[in-house]
Amino acid sequence: MIRIADARALAQALHERYDHARAITLIGRLSQKALFSGRADEVVFWALVFAHYCGGDLSPSTASELDAFAPFILHDPKMSP
């Protein structure tokens, strides 16, 4: 399961611990590793981390594209899905 709250928390931790270039490099490397190992759930997770790292919430078009993964994504209970 992919939890939006975890992606958001990780993005915040990356902001606090690393400079921008290092954080983006880490996200990119981990995304690439997940992609080439065939872990679609991890690819989606790191894409969510990147989205939250870069600006917070997802655009409406991106959010609608994630509907295909709805059974695997747990939204924040505080926020509407």
**Assigned domain for 79 exists:** no
Q: Which of 8-17, 29-38, 39-48 has the lowest mean pLDDT?
A: 39-48
Check if the beta carbon of residue 47 is closer than 8 Å to that of residue 30: no
**Assigned domain for 14 exists:** yes
**Assigned domain for 81 exists:** no
Name the residue range of residue 54's domain.
Answer: 2-74
> How many secondary structure helices (H) and strands (E) does the chain include?
4, 2
Residue 73 pLDDT level (bands cut at 50, 70, 90): confident
What pLDDT shows up at residue 56? Answer: 64
Determine the Cα–Cα distance for residues 18 and 42; give it in Å rounded to an integer: 21
Cβ burial, residue 18 (10 Å; 0-12/13-18/19+): middle
